[in-house]
């Protein structure tokens, strides 16, 4: 099942295998209870066989835009639930990989980020002398270029049978692609996170595949495959401060300046400064309907208008300010002023509008 928004390039993807294997090539869909495994959710899950190479495009490369389509990076996560059966009777050093890959800005392959896993009952390495899975996170595939027990990649031990969520979080960290590779248990508790660093974000595009690129297990159960594109956090403006908290009337050609001042907070009520967000910008739309307003006696005198359209931050009172010169507005009628995000990919802004009248 593919869940799409209004734009294919912004599509999220999910398949829990309740009705089909859409978006995958080509695992087997099985009922809950098959081989004694209860599906993580619902009544069905999928299985991949040894050396089958089953994979997904997460609903389509580059957030659904397609292969080799130039794409601007957006923060996103992919995840899949995998059943680790410690009591499965596997031979020592039976291994599997799961990769989530990303494209370059041209829309073609850039890099893989791979969970390297294996079952062990030997007397060496992490968890020596016990039946366990050992898992690490790297950029390469087993068996030739990676090894689950590689001490250089901080391997961990999982000794309890059950469902585990394998998640990749792709994000921009100071202009560089970082990938947090995390494992969660069936209750959602974090087991381990590895952070892998990649290329400059300017050269990074959208998602590529999720792929069981190496698998020696006769059957490996998985469920709930998902890609989620991060939405930009919404900031709130607390309202324009006086005198622009009311409808203000200005005489045509009076050359008065309208002082727009506001405070911006996040969802937790924390004031946002110029160190937190890109400067918001001012938009003015002409309504054309003349209505009543108060006299603009508290407006600023001419010569104090700001250039451009960006608000500036005043650390003294933690407000964003823009002085709008009315001289440029010559048509009689109402004008709607809105403060909007200066970087819509990073945040959205709600709550600050005002009206002034040229008469």
Question: Among candidates 138, 106, 134, which has minimal Cα distance to 119?
Answer: 134
Both structure tokens of 44: 């069905």
Instruction: Please tell me whether residue 56 adopts helix, strand or coil conformation.
Output: strand
Between CA 207 and CA 60 the distance in angstroms is 8
For residue 8, CA distances in Å to 13, 25, 32, 118 come to 11, 21, 32, 37
Both structure tokens of 274: 């110029």
Cβ–Cβ < 8 Å for 49, 64: no
Cβ–Cβ < 8 Å for 52, 32: no
State the pLDDT at residue 137.
Answer: 98
DSSP tag of 8: G
Tallying the residues shown for the chain, one arrives at 359
State the pLDDT at residue 300.
Answer: 46
Both structure tokens of 141: 């595939």
DSSP tag of 26: S
Cβ–Cβ < 8 Å for 78, 211: no
State the pLDDT at residue 68.
Answer: 98
State the pLDDT at residue 9.
Answer: 34
Half-sphere exposure of 244 (CA within 13 A, CB side): 26
2-229: CATH topology is Jelly Rolls (2.60.120)
State the pLDDT at residue 3.
Answer: 30
Q: What are phi and psi of 137, to 5 degrees?
A: -135, 130
Cβ–Cβ < 8 Å for 206, 62: yes
Between CA 341 and CA 93 the distance in angstroms is 53
In a 10 Å sphere around its CB, with 0-12 CB exposed, 13-18 middle and 19+ buried, how is residue 6 labelled?
A: exposed
Both structure tokens of 178: 């970082």
Can you give the pLDDT of all 359 residues of the chain as single tens digits?
333 222 333 448 999 999 999 999 999 999 999 999 999 999 999 999 999 999 999 999 999 999 999 999 999 999 999 999 999 999 999 999 999 999 999 999 999 999 999 999 999 999 999 999 999 999 999 999 999 999 999 999 999 999 999 999 999 999 999 999 999 999 999 999 999 999 999 999 999 999 999 999 999 999 999 999 988 888 999 899 999 999 999 988 787 899 999 999 998 899 999 999 999 999 998 876 655 555 545 544 444 556 789 999 999 999 999 999 888 888 999 898 999 999 987 888 988 888 899 98
Cβ–Cβ < 8 Å for 163, 82: yes
Q: What is the C-alpha end-to-end distance of the chain, expressed in Å?
A: 57
Please list the residues that pair with 294 across neighbouring strands.
248
Pairing of strands 55-56, 2-3: unpaired
Task: Catalogue the E-assigned strands of 26-75.
Answer: 28-31, 44-49, 55-56
For residue 356, CA distances in Å to 180, 243, 256 come to 49, 11, 12
CATH class of the domain defined by 234-358:
mainly beta
Domain boundaries defined on the chain: 2-229, 234-358
pTM of the model: 0.70
Both structure tokens of 255: 């050359």
Between CA 169 and CA 163 the distance in angstroms is 19
């Amino acid at each position: 099942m593919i869940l799409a928004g209004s734009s294919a390039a912004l599509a999220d993807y999910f398949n829990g295998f309740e009705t089909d294997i859409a978006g995958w090539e080509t695992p087997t869909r099985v009922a809950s209870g098959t081989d004694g495994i209860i599906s993580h959710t619902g009544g069905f899950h999928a299985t991949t066989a040894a050396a089958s190479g089953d994979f997904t495009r997460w609903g389509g490369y580059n957030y659904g835009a397609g292969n080799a389509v130039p794409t601007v990076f957006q923060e996103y996560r992919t995840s899949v639930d995998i059943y680790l059966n410690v009591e499965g009777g596997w031979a020592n050093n039976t291994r599997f990989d799961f990769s989530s890959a990303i494209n370059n800005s041209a829309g073609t392959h850039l890099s893989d980020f791979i969970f390297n896993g294996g079952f062990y009952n030997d007397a060496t390495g992490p968890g020596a002398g016990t039946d366990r899975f050992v898992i690490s996170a790297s950029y390469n595939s087993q068996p030739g270029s990676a090894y689950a027990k590689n001490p250089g990649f901080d391997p961990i031990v999982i000794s309890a049978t059950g469902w585990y969520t394998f998640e990749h979080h792709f994000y921009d960290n100071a202009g560089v692609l970082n990938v947090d590779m995390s494992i969660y248990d069936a209750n959602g508790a974090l087991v381990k996170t590895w952070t892998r660093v990649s290329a400059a974000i300017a050269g990074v595009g959208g998602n590529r595949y999720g792929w069981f690129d190496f698998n020696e297990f006769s059957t490996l159960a998985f469920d709930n495959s998902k890609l989620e594109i991060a939405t930009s956090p919404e900031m709130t403006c607390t309202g324009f401060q006086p005198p622009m908290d009311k409808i203000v009337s200005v005489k045509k050609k009076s050359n008065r300046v309208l002082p727009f001042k506001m405070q911006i907070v996040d969802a937790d009520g924390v004031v946002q400064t110029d160190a937190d967000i890109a400067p918001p910008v001012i938009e003015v739309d002409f309504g054309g309907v003349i209505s009543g307003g108060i006299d603009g006696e508290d407006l600023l005198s001419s010569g104090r208008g700001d250039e451009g359209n960006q608000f500036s931050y005043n650390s003294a009172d933690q407000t964003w300010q823009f002085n709008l010169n009315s001289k440029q507005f010559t048509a009689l009628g109402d004008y709607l002023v809105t403060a909007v995000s200066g970087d819509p990919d990073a945040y959205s802004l709600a709550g600050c509008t005002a009206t002034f009248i040229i008469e």
